[in-house]
Amino acid sequence: MKREIYKGLGLLLLCILVIVGYGGYRFYKLSIQETEEKADLIQEATFPIIHTRFEGNPVTTLHGYGMEMDLRYMRDQLTVLGAGRDLEFEVEGFGNHITGVTVDVLEMDGTQVDHYVSPAWEKTETGILVLTALSDEIGTMDDYMLRITLATESQKALYYYSVLRYLPDAPISSQIAFIKDFSDKTFDQKEAESIIPYIEPSETARNNNLGHVDITASFKQITWDNFKLERTGELQVTISDINSETGSYVLTYDGQTIEGEDIPVQYHVTEFYRICYHEGRTYLVSFDRQMEQVYNPEIGNVSASRMNLGIDSDLEISYRTSRDRRQIAFVKENQLWLMDTDANRITRVFSFYDETHQDIRDRIADHGIEVVNVTDEGTVDFLVYGYMNRGTLEGENGVVLYRYNSETNGVEELIFLPSDRPYSVLKESIHKICYLTEQFFYIYLNPGIYCVDLQGKTYIQLIPDLPQDGYCSDESGRRLAWTDALETNNTIRIKDLQTGMDLILEGSEGKILVPIGFLGEDFVYGTVEEGNIVSIDGSRQILISELTIINSEKQVLKQYQKENRLIVNCDVTSARIAFDLVQKKQSGESVSLKNMGTDQILSNTEPETAGVTLGTIVTEARQTEVVLRYAAAVISSEKTQVRAPETIQMAAENTLTIKEQQKKDPNYYVYGLGKLQSVETSLARAQQKAGQWKGFFTDSSNQVIWSYRETFKS
């Protein structure tokens, strides 16, 4: 009997061992499969982060580049030295062992002022703390470039950049305390009453978009109305600009709301403050809050006729559709999505952001995404440009062209073009010219247009120096028109980038031809009489005598001119040309313009009915929300399927370094609300824009030319 019992127990134990063994084997195989599936996806960030300090408190956060950057354009962060010229910063290592630290203080032209190799540091819980006394040669209120170079066991050199300013009496600590207190009180209706003296509610303010609120908004709007946003994560402070009285700061944080069945919806919030301390009183000169909702398809925001993308600061979403309008690629908060309305399926094609582990390095917003092309089969060509947060290109800066294949559900890197100009400057170039054919990729990289052979990994410079006011392209980017020298050239060249065909327009003697734009399939150019490209208040004005519209065969379809009137400020869309009419008044060398009204020319072609349109709706929960409406309705009534790519393929041989011509940059760079707002060719216009933003502007050597200053009534 015992023998049978033992035998039964033995068989039972054997079965258990087999089951456990098979289960372990399955777990192992699944683990291997999961590892293999994730091996080609974007790897987690590895670079350390640097937090510069002022009076012992963390102020500005710097992220590391794996390449050296052009000092002339590194203006996004500011580090301030207090009394004693002591530079203090903490390196958050994220598991990296720091083996070396080098500190360089440079003039903006690269001339070295200070150089310290491996200064002493002390270990902290998260990394190391470095304290270095800088040279007495650093002058008060002068701007320098701070470059910190880290060496780790796996990286020989990581570069961190910041503008450096010595300001011993800077009221930074008190001003940061003020803005944190102000921000905290906007979340508490009772405590918020104390901020009322600092805001400037206006009857003209639009209090209907939680995505963008400024100092003129109502008290109710500034205190979030009835929106129940919960802060998550830490507050991050960045100094934008500062002098002895006035400081500009950017405060960023994440937040979330809970929707439906306990589904968290994430938001990224940026608050800008400009504070002035004058005669014993603190003035809040500017307050601007922008909030972006992170798109989450799990909250049921897809219906048969529209897709709700939620709160957005400017209510503008970049999107592109396939020819049949059933594939919709859109970018929301630096994430690229593809909606297939036939399959009722949405794919998160690309994102550095990973909500699962909340890494600060994933959320560095120094990059952009641009959709280049979408096919009916669901293939998406797109650019990621600027700073690469993580993956095999972590810390690199430039432009990457990717292709997503919906059938294989995979992303492939086609080409990587490194650039030593940061995202804030690079994004001004990307939107000018960007076009893709089967073999060639055309892109504007200041100051010219390049043609990249994707197969041979070579390039040519198609146009060496594109005049700022002397070129235009159609909406698709396929056709490009330009002049070689605006002031003297009477020739326009029109190129079809798809076919390679050229069309040449030649003007008569003493006439300057200026490309204006494309009116559908037709081309519009202006004729300028000699002497009518003038300077008014430091800005160049092109005074057009006549507008001409031609077709692809160079046949004139329409000409427009008015006696004793000149044409300026042309705005061209596919449906019409709008412009201002002026009279030129000249006294000696001084030129002025008299406004004589406006006019427009309408296209003879019927506009194509859009299958997808951008719009807004107003909801009780979130006020104004941005939506994409589509004519090709979602066929399936089932819940929208959500997926992510299974693979991302990258290769080192796809890197192609373009050697840009080192020409003098004639542009001015206008900063406001803590970031680069525009690039201007006119000194007067740059100052005007900087005044509007209550900011400053620099020339191409990164020197501040003019800065807004508050005036107070005595």
* Buried b / exposed e along 297-323 (16+ C-beta atoms within 10 A): bebebbeeebbbbbbbbebebebbbbe
Instruction: Provide the 3-class DSSP secondary structure of residue 315.
Output: coil
Provide the CA 435 distance to its chain's centre, in angstroms. Answer: 19
CA nearest to 69, candidates 361, 500, 398: 398
CA distances from 422 to 67, 75, 77, 390 (A): 11, 9, 12, 16
pLDDT of residue 662: 64
Any residues with CB less than 8 A from the CB of 498 and at least 6 apart, and which? Answer: 435, 437, 478
Provide the CA 509 distance to its chain's centre, in angstroms. Answer: 44
Strand pairing partners for 458? 453
Let me know: does 300 contact 634? Beta carbons within 8 Å: no
CA–CA separation, 333 vs 343, rounded Å? 24
- Which single residue is written with the structure tokens 């100094």? 239
CA distances from 249 to 59, 99, 704 (A): 10, 33, 18
Any residues with CB less than 8 A from the CB of 273 and at least 6 apart, and which? Answer: 175, 178, 179, 182, 248, 249, 251, 284, 286, 287
- Which single residue is written with the structure tokens 């900063």? 671
CA distances from 648 to 389, 391, 393, 505, 652 (A): 15, 10, 12, 45, 14
CA–CA separation, 654 vs 663, rounded Å? 27
- By CB atoms closer than 10 A (0-12, 13-18, 19+), residue 240 is buried
CA–CA separation, 498 vs 266, rounded Å? 41
Instruction: Provide the 3-class DSSP secondary structure of residue 480.
Output: strand
Any residues with CB less than 8 A from the CB of 511 and at least 6 apart, and which? Answer: 490, 527, 528, 529, 530
Tell me the pairing of strands 647-649 and 410-418: parallel
* Buried b / exposed e along 401-433 (16+ C-beta atoms within 10 A): bbbbbbeeeebbbbbbbbbbbbbbbbbbbbebb
Amino acid at 15: C
Amino acid at 319: Y
CA distances from 697 to 76, 149, 384, 651 (A): 13, 28, 27, 39
Instruction: Provide the 3-class DSSP secondary structure of residue 22.
Output: helix
Encoded tokens for 425: 């400057």
Sequence-ordered strand ranges (E) for 279-323 = 281-293, 306-310, 318-321
Let me know: does 164 contact 79? Beta carbons within 8 Å: yes
Q: What is the mean pLDDT of each run of 10 residues along the chain (714 residues)?
A: 46 42 36 34 91 89 96 93 90 94 94 88 91 89 94 94 92 93 94 95 93 97 94 90 92 91 91 90 94 91 89 94 93 96 93 82 93 96 96 95 96 95 91 90 88 94 81 90 78 92 87 91 92 81 93 92 93 90 86 92 70 91 93 72 91 85 81 94 90 94 92 66
Instruction: Provide the 3-class DSSP secondary structure of residue 301.
Output: coil
Phi, psi of 530 (to 5 degrees): -60, 130
Q: Which CATH architecture has domain 49-166?
A: Sandwich (2.60)
DSSP class of residue 508 equals P
Kindly state the helix (H) or strand (E) to which residue 414 belongs, with its residue range. Answer: strand 410-418
pLDDT of residue 684: 87
* CATH class label, 172-293: alpha beta
pLDDT in tens, 320-372: 999 999 999 999 999 999 999 989 999 999 999 887 767 889 989 999 999 99
Q: What is the chain's percent helix, strand, coil content, to nearest 5? A: 15, 50, 40
Instruction: Provide the 3-class DSSP secondary structure of residue 633.
Output: coil
Let me know: does 145 contact 133? Beta carbons within 8 Å: no
CA nearest to 661, candidates 417, 449, 400, 451: 449
Let me know: does 65 contact 50? Beta carbons within 8 Å: no
Q: What is the DSSP string of 552-598?
A: TT--EEEEE--TT-EEEEEEE-SSEEEEEEEEEEEETTEEEEEEEEE
Amino acid at 613: T
CA nearest to 284, candidates 298, 296, 274: 274
CA–CA separation, 56 vs 90, rounded Å? 10
Q: Model-level pTM?
A: 0.89
CA–CA separation, 252 vs 270, rounded Å? 5
